[in-house]
Amino acid sequence: MRLQPGSTGSIHRIEGMNPILQRRLADLGVAEGVIIRLKGKGPFLGPITLECNGQLFAIRRKEASMIEVNVS
């Protein structure tokens, strides 16, 4: 994921992620074609906070790197 805090983009592809985590994200509405916003980054390579469909959630940077985004 190559977003800067406050910027948005559409999810192009989610690849290589743990199927259980991918299912949980899908339950939050995180899927290909959906608009996502990077709300913030935790210090010291901590988790990142994302917003999708009005839902705020945090995921590890390792998992976030598996989400390919087209920056708008």
pLDDT tens digits for range 17-67: 999 999 999 998 999 999 999 999 988 989 999 999 899 999 999 999 999
Where are the chain's structural domains?
Answer: 8-71
CA atoms of 12 and 14, how far apart (whole Å): 7
Q: Cβ distance 9 to 35 under 8 Å?
A: yes
pTM, 2 dp: 0.82
pLDDT of 72: 73
pLDDT of 1: 62
pLDDT of 3: 84
pLDDT of 60: 93
pLDDT of 4: 87
CATH architecture of 8-71: Roll (2.30)
